[in-house]
Amino acid sequence: MKRTPLESWVSGKIGNGADPLTRERIEHHQRVMLQETLAWARAKSSFYRRHLAGLSEREFRGLGDLYRIPFTTAEDIRQNPLHFLCVSQSEINRVVTLHTSGTTGMPKRIYFTKEDQELTVDFFHRGMSTLVGPGERVLILLPGERPGSVGDLLAAGLQRLGTSAVVYGPVQDYSRALEVMLMEGIDALVGIPVQVLALARHSKGRAAPRSVLLSTDYVPDSIKKELYLIWGCEVYTHYGMTEMGFGGGVECEARQGYHMREADLLFEVVDPKTGASLEQGEEGEVVFTTLTRCGMPLIRYRTGDLSRFLPEQCPCGTVLKTMAPVRGRIAGHLELEPGIMLTMVDLDEALFPVRGLIDFSAELTREHDRNHLQIRATFLEGSGEHETENIHSALKGIRVLRSSIREGRLKVRVTVREGSPGKLNGSTKRTMTDKRNPGVA
């Protein structure tokens, strides 16, 4: 098994020379770069000048003092993103607007300089070398029509690898996407989990790529298993978000978790409620700090994602940290009753193995003093007619639902539609909706 290519890349970026890379060397680099980032943000960003006003240089001497630095939140960015800027707006090369899944929330705007985007291209170049090599062809099913979009940056990284990129974008017509795969002789594809699943089920095993990289959303194990059953391909996952500069970490050949961009980003896992740092192996909220970004640095940014650092070394032998696959989002939890939580992960793992399913939504309401769970399932054309009972059976396999259904405390409604997978909107993160009255469980 090959060691992750990110290790030699990180070693070169931190100026380690020919010496073996060590955790001590990585953490020394991170401490120095964090101190530089703090000084830069204080000097150039009006937000961080106020936000860090209570932090003295004496209080921060090493990574063990991270807890002294206040968190940055999505709401901070929504309030006034321009206050985060450390350069003039004329130096900004790309602005990404992120709309909230709610109806009243303000969008977030993330700003990148040309140099910031180069960091992402460099990461994509190195990280993708695990999946593909020179002369191969990659289909990119991510937004890529605009310069500086994630698909465009990924294509630039692949070009440096000697790999051809076909930037298709999010799938609207699955028959057309399959046709492109066949015509182009695609060796690998990169896309959104539910869209890649829909494409695989639509393909009926044709045009099978050698490898697949899933990104932009939580990746259920059930989807990875289905892709392997249909295409027989290796399935890798990538962790990243726009706020990180799109790229955060990617799996190696062991496929047991993500190796991170440790030269560019400092990752932590904290208790979602208290904010206290957690030990390796303990699950909590992922927090990151940019170490090399100049346009809009983010310091201790709370992602809302749930994961943990694996305490054991990766089988590939790297000294880089390994983050376990993200287990969904804090917002993807609903309290059915006091102490009884339903997660999007529960639903994903139970429902995606149902034959022909390509997407679903979940909504919780309260009627006549009883919780009602509404599942709206979308199937491939011609495959959903008799699947309602299979959805009900799969839901009863979820432990937290089983007793509530049996004892009449929860009513489940399932509606099934068949249609073109092209109707799907798989480019946003999938969440459950709670439409009960506030405070009612």
CATH number of 1-326: 3.40.50.12780
**Architecture of the 330-434 domain:** 2-Layer Sandwich (3.30)
- Going by the DSSP 8-state scheme, the letter that residue 34 receives in this structure is H
Sequence ranges of the domains in the chain: 1-326, 330-434
Residue 210 pLDDT > 70, yes or no? yes
Classify residue 367 by burial, with Cβ atoms within 10 Å: 0-12, 13-18, 19+.
exposed
User: How much is the pLDDT for 58?
Assistant: 74
Q: Which of 117, 183, 178, 182 is nearest to 151 (CA)?
A: 117
Report the pLDDT averaged over residues 54-71: 86
Residues 6+ apart with CB under 8 A from 29: 14, 263
207-221, 262-276, 347-361 — most confident range: 262-276
User: How much is the pLDDT for 425?
Assistant: 47
Asked if 390 and 416 touch (Cβ cutoff 8 Å), the reply is no
How far apart CA 391 and CA 413 sit, in angstroms, is 10
Segment (H or E) for 189: strand 188-191
Q: What is the pLDDT of residues 36-53, one digit of tens each?
A: 999 999 999 999 999 999
**Other Cβ atoms within 10 Å of 92 Cβ, number:** 17
Residue 418 pLDDT > 90, yes or no? no
Residue 439 pLDDT > 70, yes or no? no
Q: Which of 52, 22, 85, 17 is nearest to 297 (CA)?
A: 85
Classify residue 182 by burial, with Cβ atoms within 10 Å: 0-12, 13-18, 19+.
exposed
- pLDDT band at 414; cut points 50, 70, 90: very high
DSSP 424-441: --TTS----EE-SPTT--
Report the pLDDT averaged over residues 214-220: 87
- pLDDT band at 330; cut points 50, 70, 90: confident
pTM: 0.92
Where is pLDDT greater, at 405 or 100? 405
Lowest mean pLDDT among 242-251, 312-321, 351-360: 351-360
From residue 31, alpha-carbon distances to 61, 115, 116, 309 in Å are: 8, 22, 20, 19
Q: Do domains 1-326 and 330-434 have the same CATH topology?
A: no
Q: Which pairs from 118-123 meet CB under 8 Å and 24+ separation? A: 119/245, 119/264, 119/292, 119/293, 120/153, 120/157, 120/245, 120/246, 120/247, 121/153, 121/156, 121/157, 121/160, 122/9, 122/157, 123/157, 123/247, 123/261, 123/264
How far apart CA 241 and CA 320 sit, in angstroms, is 20
Average pLDDT of every residue of the chain? 92
Segment (H or E) for 412: strand 410-418
Q: Is 281 left (phi over 0), alpha (psi -120 to 50) or beta?
A: left
Segment (H or E) for 266: strand 265-270
259-268, 376-385, 420-429 — most confident range: 259-268
Tokens of 425: 């909107």
Residue with tokens 């977030």: 108
Q: What is the pLDDT of residues 246-301, one digit of tens each?
A: 999 999 999 999 999 999 999 999 999 999 999 999 999 999 999 999 999 999 99
Residue 427 pLDDT > 80, yes or no? no
- pLDDT band at 440; cut points 50, 70, 90: very low
